[in-house]
Amino acid sequence: PHFVTYLQARKRVQSRKTVLSRHPVHLKGDKVLDGVTGLIGNTPLVRINSLSNALGVEILGKAEFLNPGGSVKDRVALRSTFTPFQSMLLTCSVLIVIEDAERQGLLRPHTGSRIFEGTVGSTGISMATIARARGYETTIIMPDDVAEEKVKALQCLGAEVQRVRPASIIDKKQFVNMARQAAVDFGCKGIPDRTKKGQIAYEIPTGTPSVVVTTTSLRVHPTGIAIDSQCEDPMTKPQGFFADQFENRSNFDAHYEGTGPEIWRQTNGKIDAFISGAGTGGTIAGAGQYIKSMNKNVVVALADPEGSGLFNKVKYGVMYDRKEAEGTKRRHQVDTVVEGIGSNRMTNNIDLALPIIDDAFRITDAEAVAMSRYLVQNDGLFLGSSSACNLVACVKLVCRTGWKEGQTIITILYLFKLVMLHHDLRYAIRCDSGNRHYSKFWNDRYLQEANIPIDQTIIGQLLNPS
């Protein structure tokens, strides 16, 4: 009874439209939850007091940090959804990427089954958390320039971690390609090799505007490709599963069926804008598309860090303009201190997001850093870098639209820590030993060496443009 097909779930979401608003949101703590996976989803909205008061517009953040793996990514590893009936019973029915794989015979608990994923960290931590709870092993492959804290967290969770040099997506040594290869080496079959000619996600001819080449194989639901074929011998060999968050449609579903309906219910549909960054694109595509399906007038806007091509893609239809393509050495990578959002390639989930994105904001590293320091000083909110980007975009949207009062903007706080009323950052950092950004985004010396200013007056200027 806990398993429903994708189409059934989608139908339920549709038929729920009128029902959702009649049921109040049920926050964590209302009942005893079923293990660590019961903690996933149904996160509260938190009012960002300093910005809301300064702007006269309600800025509300969805507190995804309350997920047990500490980020929005838990939903993708395990997507949670509410049927009207279950909502009445305060029960969370769980549909999982992992359970999807289990249902298809791609994973079997406590038999040495292994999940492979390429990630900059948060998804890996979510995968490893849930894998532990469900009886699976994990192999996580990540670039070696991400914050050390994430590696430590993964190791504590028992994941096998491999770190590789950052490389372009067309390089076989790129972390997603390496994860795919590791899954293939483990015996998983039916996984497309996207590094082969003709199967590359995109290519940018030197000196010309980019042309996005998306092959047919990329558009196929990867779990669909995998069905019946990912594993060599399901009965005798330990199973292996390549989670493939960038291309996996379950990523979108987690937000279309979880995050989006939750936001709608929590606000009773009173939303003027929804703002999110995009790494895989799952959050903005899924939550944004659900919110749009309920009210097409809601502005869905992208917060995009420096070095990402998505801003240009939304605004001008191409990832790069000629000047940028020529001037950027690492053009297939996102060159920013912000981790988790920004992309220079098309993925299935970004494909799903593009049609519903109305506006985009380019956020500089300095702005993200300034916002994070501003919020810790004024609200006691200790945010990760992608959450800070989203909030800068909220302020920029208010400036652009001229909204004055009464409007509500919802954004995602993917990852943050509460500083528990201590506005002294040094104290907070000592308290928050698990902070995933301390060594880079929250490390003043690192920022100075990278020539990124730490200047809160930037936010004052954004809030009060002269």
**Is the CB of 242 or the CB of 414 nearer to ligand PMP?**
414
Beta bridge partners of 383: 416
Residue 102 in 3-state DSSP?
helix
**Is the CB of 161 or the CB of 341 nearer to ligand PMP?**
341
Q: Is 415 in the site for ligand PMP (CB under 6 A)?
A: yes
> Site for ligand PMP (CB under 6 A): which residue of 201, 341, 370, 409?
341
> Site for ligand PMP (CB under 6 A): which residue of 174, 386, 411, 435?
386
Measured from the CB of residue 384, what is the shortest distance to ligand PMP in angstroms?
A: 5
Q: Tokens at residue 345, please?
A: 């390639």
Q: What is the rounded distance in angstroms from the CA atom of residue 82 to the CA atom of residue 92?
A: 6
> Where is 121: in which H helix or E strand?
none
Which residues, numbered 75-134, are part of the site for ligand PMP (CB under 6 A)? 120, 122
**Is the CB of 186 or the CB of 246 nearer to ligand PMP?**
246
Q: What is the rounded distance in angstroms from the CA atom of residue 75 to the CA atom of residue 255?
A: 7
Q: How many residues bind ligand PMP (CB under 6 A)?
A: 17
8 A C-beta contact, residue 387 and residue 289:
no
Q: What is the rounded distance in angstroms from the CA atom of residue 221 to the CA atom of residue 253?
A: 12
Q: What is the rounded distance in angstroms from the CA atom of residue 280 to the CA atom of residue 259?
A: 15
**Is the CB of 407 or the CB of 417 nearer to ligand PMP?**
417
Among all chains, which residue has been given the structure tokens 């001008």? 316
Q: Is 305 in the site for ligand PMP (CB under 6 A)?
A: no
> Site for ligand PMP (CB under 6 A): which residue of 231, 360, 384, 403?
384
Pairing of strands 137-143, 160-164: parallel
Measured from the CB of residue 71, what is the shortest distance to ligand PMP in angstroms?
A: 6
**Is the CB of 147 or the CB of 462 nearer to ligand PMP?**
147
> Where is 408: in which H helix or E strand?
strand 408-413
Q: Tokens at residue 83, please?
A: 């049927």
Residues whose CB is less than 8 angstroms from the CB of residue 322 and which lie 6 or more positions away in sequence, other chains included: 207, 208, 209
8 A C-beta contact, residue 414 and residue 71:
yes
Q: Is 372 in the site for ligand PMP (CB under 6 A)?
A: no
Q: Is 346 in the site for ligand PMP (CB under 6 A)?
A: no
Measured from the CB of residue 64, what is the shortest distance to ligand PMP in angstroms?
A: 9
Q: Is 347 in the site for ligand PMP (CB under 6 A)?
A: no
Residue 404 in 3-state DSSP?
coil
**Is the CB of 231 or the CB of 310 nearer to ligand PMP?**
310
Q: Which 3-state string (H, E, C) describes 282-328?
A: HHHHHHHHHHHHHCCCCEEEEEEECCCCHHHHHHHCCCCCHHHHHHC
> Site for ligand PMP (CB under 6 A): which residue of 68, 70, 261, 282?
282
Residue 160 in 3-state DSSP?
strand
Q: Is 263 in the site for ligand PMP (CB under 6 A)?
A: no
> Site for ligand PMP (CB under 6 A): which residue of 68, 124, 143, 281?
281
Q: What is the rounded distance in angstroms from the CA atom of residue 323 to the CA atom of residue 343?
A: 18
Q: Give the binding range for ligand PMP (CB under 6 A) out of 30-38, 130-138, 281-289, 291-299.
A: 281-289
Q: Is 280 in the site for ligand PMP (CB under 6 A)?
A: yes
**Is the CB of 240 or the CB of 281 nearer to ligand PMP?**
281
Q: Give the residue at shortest CB distance from ligand PMP.
A: 340
Q: Is 414 in the site for ligand PMP (CB under 6 A)?
A: yes
Q: Is 41 in the site for ligand PMP (CB under 6 A)?
A: no
Q: Is 278 in the site for ligand PMP (CB under 6 A)?
A: yes
Q: Give me the residues that bind ligand PMP (CB under 6 A), please.
A: 71, 120, 122, 277-283, 339-341, 384, 386, 414-415
